[in-house]
Amino acid sequence: MSKYDHIQEAAYEANRQLPKLGLVLFTFGNVSAADRDLGVFAIKPSGVPYSDLSPEKMVIVDFEGKTVKGKLRPSSDTLTHAVLYKHWPNIGGIAHTHSTYATAWAQSQRDIPIFGTTHADHNTVDIPCAPPMNDEMILGDYEYQTGFQILNAFRDRGLNYEEVEMVLIGNHAPFTWGKTPEKAVYNSAVLESVAQMAYLTEQIRNDAPRLKDSLIKKHYERKHGPHSYYGQ
C-alpha cells in the first residue's frame, strides 16, 4: 500500500482503454492521473506495451516533471503533462495519442471546423491546432516547450481549458484532458470521431458551412449549461 495507489490504479485503467478504443498502435499514446493534494501525477512508463502494464509500473512524477517514485522511465511526453497540470489547476487527467484522423488534421496544420451537433455536444469552437514550434523551442527542452505551445495557443485565442478539453499540435498529434483520466480518454475518442466526420463532411461537400451559432449554443448547453438535461 502507498499513498499513490489510487492514481496508479486510475492511470493504469485509463491507459488500458486506449487500445480498446482503437486509439493507439503499439505504444503510441499515454495517459496520466493527477492528485492535486499530493502535487503529483501517475503516468505510463515509456515504450511499455499496454498489455504489459500494471498499476505499480505507473511512474509518479511531480508538476515540475521530476520523478518521485518508480523504477521505470516515465513517458517521453511527461514534461508536457507536467506543464499542463502546473498551469491548469482544475484538470485531473491528460491523454495523448496518435489516433489516425486527429493526427491527419494535426499534420495538415488546420483547426477542425465545427460542422455538427456531435462536435457541439462537446465544444463550441473549432478544435484548435497549435502551430508547430519555432526552431529555438524545438532545440530547447522539447516536451516542456510543447506544454507551453498548448498554453500559448489557448491564451492567444482566449480559450478556456475547462470548456475546450482538446488540442492538436501542428505536425504532431492530439492532447486531451479532463477532470479525471477517464474523461481525458473519453475526449480522445470523441475527438477522433469528430475528426473523421469533419474529414468526410468536406469530402462530401467541399464548401460545407460551419454549424450556426444558435445550434452550437443549444447543443453545448443541453449537455453542459446551468440547465443541462443530458445524463442522470
81 residue type, one letter? H
Q: How far is the CB of 115 from its own copies (least distance, A)?
A: 4
Q: Which 74-93 residues touch its own copies, going by CB under 8 A? A: 76
Residue 11 touches its own copies, criterion: CB under 8 A: no
Classify 43 as helix, strand or coil. strand
Rank residues 1 and 204 by Cβ distance to its own copies and give the closer one. 204
Could you confirm whether 121 is annotated as catalytic? yes
Q: How far is the CB of 139 from its own copies (least distance, A)?
A: 7
The span from the CA of 14 to the CA of 33, in Å, is 8
The span from the CA of 59 to the CA of 77, in Å, is 13
Q: How far is the CB of 196 from its own copies (least distance, A)?
A: 6
Residue 100 touches its own copies, criterion: CB under 8 A: yes
Q: Which 15-44 residues touch its own copies, going by CB under 8 A? A: 25-26, 28
Q: Grid coordinates representing 103? A: 493526427
**Candidate list 139, 156, 163, 179; residue touching its own copies; CB under 8 A:** 139
Contact between 103 and 30 under an 8 Å Cβ cutoff? The reply is: no
**Number of C-beta neighbours around residue 23 at 10 A:** 22
Question: How many angstroms separate the most distant Cα atoms in the chain?
Answer: 58
Residue 142 touches its own copies, criterion: CB under 8 A: yes
**Candidate list 67, 152, 180, 193; residue touching its own copies; CB under 8 A:** 193
SS (HEC) of 152-173: HHHHHHCCCCCCCCEEEECCCC
The span from the CA of 186 to the CA of 182, in Å, is 6
Query: Which residues are known catalytic residues?
Result: 121, 230
- Footprint of its own copies on this chain (CB under 8 A)? 25-26, 28, 45-48, 72-73, 76, 98, 100-101, 103-110, 115-118, 132-133, 135, 138-139, 142, 171-173, 186, 189-190, 193, 196-205, 208-209, 211-212, 214-215, 218, 222, 229-232
